[in-house]
Structure 1
Amino acid sequence: MATRTAAAAVFLLFAVNGALIGGVGGVLPALRERLDVSASGLSLLLFCLAASAVVSMQVGGRLADRIGARPVALVTLSLLALGVGLLSLATSLPLAIVAMVLAGLGNGAMDVAMNSLGVEVEQARPKPIMSRFHAFWSLGNLTAAATIVLIARLLDRSGGDNVGPALGTLFCFGVVGILVAVRIVPVGRRIEHHENGVRSAIPKLAWALGLMAFCFGLAEGTAVDWSSVHVTDVARIDPSTGALGLVAVSAFMVIIRLLGDQAVARVGRRAVVRVGSVTAIAGYLFTVFAEPLPLLLVGWALVGLGVGLVAPQVYAVAGHVGGGRMLAIVVTFGYAAFLIGPAIIGQLAEHFGIQNAMILPLALSACLVAVSVVLPRDE
């Protein structure tokens, strides 16, 4: 597990997952037009993605402990890619719902499995590496956003339907990722949760970390799934240009996550989480009050910088303290919020406007600052 190949395999899993999920978020404005649905229709699709992912996490977490994370990661990556491929062909809401359910079933368990493998790699190393793993997830997001913008430009469409070509391209990327992953993803350890024949209790810290995961999950999920729509609607521009919102989020998440491990080594996870939370607050203030495109992109860039620091630290603490079972609980809270939260944002946008809807992730980013007291100072 302590080899460069093991680390490279985990980098690959995070990157492919980020690209496929980022692709779904990036095409939402164009998908809205193709399916002729409102914000409520988008929130229904995101809810289907979320609900299936939450179910998948519970099953995937138990399987990863029982048989190792490798088979769980490979099977669910295939399922996620299948869902994205089907979504590229969907021209009706029912078919899009089926595609979202498949993608959610794949994404939920894959998230637990790849984070479990990431914690194992970090435990075998002298220095932190979880932030860099998550940087590759953000790099995958950035690749998806750039692909969507580039294809729209190549097709010379201003607000046209680029769903099929964009998601089809990312589906092919996912297939290549699967073929490589089969060769290099490590087996992973099996985890026993019994002591002297008695099942051990889940550490109480899991629930505090779960609350933190819910807060940053909703803030990050909003950024990934709604930044493009937000920029499109507030700045009144075409959907392909609006995808620059996701580009800003993803690019700055990559930058800060590549530097995050160094920051953790110097000042500890608690300080890193607090700085990230305050930065996200500043970014969401821009999304609530600003309207010009440049200011909106500054706001989403700050959100990317902020939330990019938080998730790797919370997941790493969970994995180190309580192993895969505790990590699965915390990841469930995080991804439930990451996936269900944007659906909630859709309802808020429908009734109160998309800028006012951003007050919710703003408030939860502030909550992160308070709850971060539970994190160890020096880890």
Structure 2
Amino acid sequence: MTTTSPNPMSTRTAAGAVFLLFVTNGMLIGGVGGSLPALRDRLDIEAAGLSLLLFCLASSAVVSMQIGGRLADRIGARPVALVTLTLLALGVGTLSITSSLPWAIVAMVLAGLGNGAMDVAMNSLGVEVEQARPKPIMSRFHAFWSVGNLTAAGTIVLIARAFDKTGAANVGPALGTLCVVGLISIAVCVRIVPHGRRIEHTEDGVRTAIPRLAWALGLMAFCFGLAEGTAVDWSSVHVTDVAEIDPSTGALGLVAVSGFMVVIRLLGDRAVARVGRRTVVRVGAVTAIGGYLFTVLAHPLPLLLIGWSLVGLGVGLVAPQVYAVAGHVGGGRMLAIVVTFGYAAFLVGPALIGQLVEHFGIQHAMILPLTLSACLVAVSAVLPRDEEDRQNR
């Protein structure tokens, strides 16, 4: 794997640009997840309808990330990130004004096409910044994604309550606000996001094979993808239904998940520097198991929020480490594969969770992400040993 960098970038400026990409992406995707309970009421659909919308979001993302990963290596991640951020913002804007399921599907497809390739592009830029630094930084990038997620959830709660106590008919203003903020962010990103490096996967003129580690990391991505995706997409619905509260208050479930993901990701880089990525992932998986136990067994709102907070703490540690290893080893091409496995979980997960909710109830449905969190503990053996991880940095 050879790399070229036609426009060397200031590490500080590049890091600031990547932080902005992550926070904007998290804000727009968080707006989609936090609005699901209200959209369910507005569109008059059940769990199966929500599963369909999330399926459209994830399937379109899987398509775009395969193209985006290769383009990021070939032409640099900047144009990929900017174009797809625009698509994502337009998808959220469309969702803010729709009142029918077909148009909601169109909005989800637009958002998915933008989010998939943008995810690969911004992580590629993040890995490049980390490679130029003496210490890890990927967890902090993902912390800003969670900041955006938390901002979106808070925006939905505040604006919904300002317009209507139920929030069922007034999710549009909140999503519209997030879309406008996203468009403003695009204008800023055009000025500061660097081109990044172009990566050629060749050796002596022959195209190199994708490292086998990609498939093991992909399995990990599937496990944490479903566990994290369930938290982001279903926490609001779960809290609303189990605690029997109004949808705008139910969005506090996503607030809890996102808030504690921010906390742990701000601290994650220090933990990686001390004990290595493998130990960090294992601790995170065990914490997520404890959180999902609360979601399966508890009913009062305070206990449910404790459970989702633990889930946020746990899953927040995992994704940055897996993506960092993939990017360091194989660039955007390998990142696209690993991220695809994570999105495959978003693709299959909503349908599985929706069916489990229909047949067994939403609390019993949480047993699935609990089980996959347990699988992460075993699969984390593919990550570098703690000593090797520290030496590589």
How much does 1:2 deviate?
A: 4.3
How much does 1:161 deviate?
A: 1.7
How much does 1:201 deviate?
A: 1.1
Contact 2:223 2:345 survives alignment (8 Å): yes
How much does 1:340 deviate?
A: 3.7
Q: Does 1:122 align with 2:130?
A: yes
Name structure 2 gaps, 5 residues minimum: 1-8
- The 3 A distance-change label for structure 1 pair 182 and 159 is closer
Contact 1:2 1:125 survives alignment (8 Å): no
Q: Does 1:6 align with 2:6?
A: no
Output the CA distance in 2 between the equivalents of 1:312 and 1:338.
Answer: 17
Contact 1:46 1:340 survives alignment (8 Å): no
Which residue in 1 is equivalent to 2:370? 362
- The 3 A distance-change label for structure 1 pair 113 and 85 is same
Output the CA distance in 2 between the equivalents of 1:156 and 1:208.
Answer: 47
The one of 269, 272, 275 aligned to 1:267: 275
Output the CA distance in 2 between the equivalents of 1:351 and 1:60.
Answer: 37
How much does 1:342 deviate?
A: 2.5
The one of 285, 301, 304 aligned to 2:309: 301
Number of equivalent positions: 379
Residue identity in the other structure for 2:310: L
Counterpart secondary structure, 2:198: coil
Which residue in 2 is equivalent to 1:190? 198
Cα deviation digits, residues 189-214 of structure 1 (max 9, x gap): 11101111211111111110000000
Counterpart secondary structure, 1:300: helix
Name structure 1 gaps, 5 residues minimum: none
Which residue in 2 is equivalent to 1:55? 63
Output the CA distance in 1 between the equivalents of 2:286 and 2:356.
Answer: 23
Residue identity in the other structure for 1:305: L
Question: Pairwise mapping of residues 1-379 of structure 1 onto structure 2 (< 5 A)?
Answer: 1-378=9-386, 379=389
Calculate the TM-score normalised by the size of structure 1. 0.99
Output the CA distance in 2 between the equivalents of 1:340 and 1:87.
Answer: 22
How much does 1:187 deviate?
A: 0.3
Provide the identity percentage: 85
Output the CA distance in 2 between the equivalents of 1:316 and 1:93.
Answer: 37
Question: Is 303-312 or 346-355 further displaced after alignment?
Answer: 346-355
Output the CA distance in 2 between the equivalents of 1:255 and 1:340.
Answer: 29
Output the CA distance in 2 between the equivalents of 1:336 and 1:169.
Answer: 30
Cα deviation digits, residues 112-168 of structure 1 (max 9, x gap): 000000000000000000000000000000000000111122124224322211100
How much does 1:3 deviate?
A: 2.1
Calculate the TM-score normalised by the size of structure 2. 0.95
Counterpart secondary structure, 2:317: helix
Contact 1:2 1:124 survives alignment (8 Å): no
CA RMSD of aligned residues (A): 0.9
Residue identity in the other structure for 1:292: P
Counterpart secondary structure, 2:81: helix
